[in-house]
Amino acid sequence: MGPKVKTMEVFPVAGYDSMTLTLSGCHSPYFTRNIVVLTDDAGHTGIGEIHGGEYTRQQLESYIPHVVGQPITDYRRVVNQLRHLNGKKADDTGEGIQGLDISQLKYVVQSETAVECALMDLLGKFLELPVAALLGDGIQRRDVEFLGYLFYIEDTHKTDLPYLQDDDDSDDWGKLRRLPAMTPKAIVKEAKAAQNRYGFKNFKLKGGVLDPELEMQTVKALHDAFPAAHINIDPNGAWSEATAIALVNKYKAAVTYMEDPCGPENGYSGRETLSEFKQATHVPVATNMIATDWRQFQHASALKSVDIVLADPHFWGLHGSIRMAQLLNDWGMTWGSHSNNHFDITLATYAQVAAAAPGHITPVDTHYIWQDGQGLLKQSPEIRDGHIHVSDAPGLGVEIDMDKLHAANDLYKKIDPMYYDRDDARSMQYLIPGWQYDSKKPALVR
């Protein structure tokens, strides 16, 4: 039967963030995550990371009696049982996970995937194989490309919130990532600093913040500065279909693909408007909004609404994400992964899952560059030349640093509980009093 799980612990943790902007508002000074740590009777430790917040922490804690004592080799049965304890997605409006209404995010997160990850880490250590070798048809690539994820950044001095400043003056990236960046020029500078540190070849700009024309001017400035780079902008469905078509046709030379350029409007679903967008522009579409489960995916593919499905393992599970990658590859479509703020355990997980995704994949999203320096591992995976190398090291290929984990857990206990669940309206209201989320209005257009 192999080793059995001896202990399971759940650590809510916090880290610092920049004042980055999205359709949902402004990132808070802190972000939170939940970390699962398992030990087995073979003496190994397995880890998994998932979104923060008390709702998810409580779900994870309720899993403990169903995990402790179970054989790690039978982990699929264990995870399947947890999945059924969760029941149905509570927010299923049919439009997908993310109208970027952050209050709903907790219902989207599949907390059992943190346990799946930790169990696979243990199994990999037992079998002396990387997690990627245990997924799908095994390792498909050793070097996984990540994209440079750029954000507009607001001036923290407009608030009295405890945003971190001056935490890293080792290079331009360390300095710039905490400073305001609201113009095409400033975003190009941000991209250059990120490229210098991480070697990114390709970039994504988070949109849904300024007037769409201004955001496309930023995309053009990025294209002019990095003519060989693939550039993608993601307004999270905020633009009208007509705006998205007009702007993408105007700036077509600058974009390689668009991520959720438009969404539901006037009685048409996001799957319908994106299908029309594709017909009108012939520009590929990526999504983490309209194909977020298999039933939505079936409709999205029938309508030919998407080309790239960003199947984040936190939402699909590690095996679920690879099941999607295999199907997309067989159908001539493309796999990628969405991300939220995360620590380095998630970074290692993305690298393992992407290493097992067959065929051509799109560079993986990561927010990690905004958190770099706050790792929970003895050694964080390194992004070099825009890639993470997946070695033969077993499991996730990394080891938890318990001192760092306890420090991040202490920070969680120290911060105001109002930060436990993500609320991007709070900081935004310093910029625009009374600001409220509107899925059809860029955050600074009111």
Catalytic residues: 206, 338
Minimum distance from CB of 234 to ligand GKR (Å)?
5
- The binding track of 392-421 with respect to ligand GKR, each residue x by CB under 6 A or -, is ------------------------------
Shorter beta-carbon distance to ligand GKR: residue 98 or 321: 98
439 near Mg ion (CB under 5 A): no
Minimum distance from CB of 402 to ligand GKR (Å)?
28
346 near ligand GKR (CB under 6 A): no
Q: Which stretch binds ligand GKR (CB under 6 A): 176-184, 243-251, 339-347, 407-415?
A: 339-347
DSSP secondary structure string for all residues of 97-128? S-SS-GGGHHHH--THHHHHHHHHHHHHHHHT
20 near Mg ion (CB under 5 A): no
Q: Tokens 């849904």 sit at which residue? A: 208
**What residue 340 binds from ligand GKR, Mg ion, none (CB within 5 to 8 A, per partner kind)?**
ligand GKR
- Give every CB contact of residue 140 below 8 A, 6+ residues apart in sequence: 355, 356, 357, 358, 359
Shorter beta-carbon distance to ligand GKR: residue 272 or 312: 312
Shorter beta-carbon distance to Mg ion: residue 235 or 386: 235
Shorter beta-carbon distance to ligand GKR: residue 25 or 124: 25
Interatomic CA distance for residues 100 and 415, integer angstroms: 24
**What residue 125 binds from ligand GKR, Mg ion, none (CB within 5 to 8 A, per partner kind)?**
none
Taking CA atoms, 157 is separated from 15, 18, 153, 172, 442, in Å, by: 20, 12, 12, 20, 22
Give phi and psi for 291, each to the nearest 5: -135, 75
Beta strands in 209-248 (DSSP E): 231-234
Q: What is the sign of the dihedral through the CA atoms of 129, 131, 136 and 141?
A: negative
154 near ligand GKR (CB under 6 A): no
Shorter beta-carbon distance to ligand GKR: residue 45 or 374: 374
305 near ligand GKR (CB under 6 A): no
Tokens of 36: 């699962």
Minimum distance from CB of 293 to ligand GKR (Å)?
16
Indicate the helix (H) or strand (E) that contains 66.
helix 54-67
195 near Mg ion (CB under 5 A): no
Supply the angle between the helices 318-330 and 344-355 in degrees, to the nearest 10.
Answer: 40
Q: Which of 51, 223, 338, 342 binds ligand GKR (CB under 6 A)?
A: 338
Buried-exposed string 146-164: b where 16+ CB fall within 10 A, e elsewhere: bbbbbbbbbebeebebebb
241 near Mg ion (CB under 5 A): no
Of residues 264 through 293, those in contact with Mg ion by CB under 5 A are: 288
234 near Mg ion (CB under 5 A): yes
Interatomic CA distance for residues 191 and 207, integer angstroms: 15
314 near ligand GKR (CB under 6 A): no
Q: Give the interface size with ligand GKR as a residue count (CB under 6 A).
A: 11
Shorter beta-carbon distance to Mg ion: residue 154 or 259: 259
Cβ-contact 236, 424 below 8 angstroms = no
Taking CA atoms, 23 is separated from 64, 82, 445, in Å, by: 36, 33, 10
17 near Mg ion (CB under 5 A): no
33 near ligand GKR (CB under 6 A): no
Q: Which of 18, 70, 288, 374 binds ligand GKR (CB under 6 A)?
A: 288
- The binding track of 210-249 with respect to ligand GKR, each residue x by CB under 6 A or -, is ------------------------x-x-------------
**What residue 98 binds from ligand GKR, Mg ion, none (CB within 5 to 8 A, per partner kind)?**
ligand GKR
Of the candidates 207, 249, 202, 219, the residue with the CA atom closest to the CA atom of residue 364: 202
312 near Mg ion (CB under 5 A): no
Q: How many CA atoms lie within 13 A of 88 on its CB side?
A: 5
Interatomic CA distance for residues 122 and 347, integer angstroms: 17
Residues that bind ligand GKR (CB under 6 A): 22, 98, 206, 234, 236, 288, 338-341, 367
